[in-house]
C-alpha cells in the first residue's frame, strides 16, 4: 500500500513540472512585451517631462491675471502648432524703438525636475517701427532638454505673429528649440520689425 502511494505521488510531481515551467515562461514573455523606455535625445539626455495644456492655462491665467478662457485661446493655439512644452519662462520686459529698437527682459525659467533659474534677455530690432511698451511675458519652451540650453540667440520666425484675446504671440527658433512668447502689456508701439533675442545668465545693456 505504501509503495503504491509513493509511485502515485511521483507521477503527480512529474506532471506538475511542465505546468510550473509554463507559468514561468508566460511571465518571461509578459516582461518582454513591456514597452521600452522612451529614447534619449541626440545628446544623450533622458526625455524631459512636459507640461499639459491644463497646467499651462492655469499658470498663464494666474500670471496675466486674466480668465482661463482668455488664456486658453492663446495656449491652445500654441499647443496645436507645437504640442506640449518642456518648460516655460514667466517674466517682464520693456522695449522701445524709433526705426532701430531694443528689448530687455528678465524672468524665471521653470522645468519639471529642475531648480527654478533666473534668466535675462535682450535684443535689437530694425524696421518701420516706433514707440515703446512694457509687457508681462509668458514664454513656452519646446525641445528645451536642460536649462543651460536656453542661453543662445533666438531669431524671430517670420509670419508667426498673431493676437488672441489681447495676448500677442510669436515664435523664435534656434536649432531644435522653439520659444513661443505670449505678451500682454501697456504702451504705444506701431510698426513692424525684425530682430532676435539673446538669453543670458546676467543682464547685458548692449542689445547686440
pLDDT at 97 (0 to 100): 58
Residue 175 DSSP symbol: T
Predicted pLDDT of residue 129: 52
CATH class of 53-200: mainly beta
The residues near 90 (Cβ < 8 Å, ≥ 6 apart) are 59, 63, 107, 108, 110, 137, 138, 139
Cell of 130: 516706433
For residue 142, list its beta bridge partners.
Answer: 178
Q: Quote the Cα angle for 13-17-18, to 5°.
A: 135
What average pLDDT values come out for the chain (208 residues) when binned by 10 residues?
49 44 42 42 71 97 92 93 97 75 90 97 71 84 96 81 79 94 69 74 83
Q: Can you give the residue ranges of every domain in the chain?
A: 53-200
Q: Contact 108/128 with Cβ under 8 angstroms?
A: no
Contact 95, 122 (CB under 8 A): no
Cα gap 187→182, rounded to integer Å: 16
Nearest to 184, CA basis, from 62, 83, 87, 84: 62
- For residue 189, the model assigns a pLDDT of 47
Amino acid at each position: 500500500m505504501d509503495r503504491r502511494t509513493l509511485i502515485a505521488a511521483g507521477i503527480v510531481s512529474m506532471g506538475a513540472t511542465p505546468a510550473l515551467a509554463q507559468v514561468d515562461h508566460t511571465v518571461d514573455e509578459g516582461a518582454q512585451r513591456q514597452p521600452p523606455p522612451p529614447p534619449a535625445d541626440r545628446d544623450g539626455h533622458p526625455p524631459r517631462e512636459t507640461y499639459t495644456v491644463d497646467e499651462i492655462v492655469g499658470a498663464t491665467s494666474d500670471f496675466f491675471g486674466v480668465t482661463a478662457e482668455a488664456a486658453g485661446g492663446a495656449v491652445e493655439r500654441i499647443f496645436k502648432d507645437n504640442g506640449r512644452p518642456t518648460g516655460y519662462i514667466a517674466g517682464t520686459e520693456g522695449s522701445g524703438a524709433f526705426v532701430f529698437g531694443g528689448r530687455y527682459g528678465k524672468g524665471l525659467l521653470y522645468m519639471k525636475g529642475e531648480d527654478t533659474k533666473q534668466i535675462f534677455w535682450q535684443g535689437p530690432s530694425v524696421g518701420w517701427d516706433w514707440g515703446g511698451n512694457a509687457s508681462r511675458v509668458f514664454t513656452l519652451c519646446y525641445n528645451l532638454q536642460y536649462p543651460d540650453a536656453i542661453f543662445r540667440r533666438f531669431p524671430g520666425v517670420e509670419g508667426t505673429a498673431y493676437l488672441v484675446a489681447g495676448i500677442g504671440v510669436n515664435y523664435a527658433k534656434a536649432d531644435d528649440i522653439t520659444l513661443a512668447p505670449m505678451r500682454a502689456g501697456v504702451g504705444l508701439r506701431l510698426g513692424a520689425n525684425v530682430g532676435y533675442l539673446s538669453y543670458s545668465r546676467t543682464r547685458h545693456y548692449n542689445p547686440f
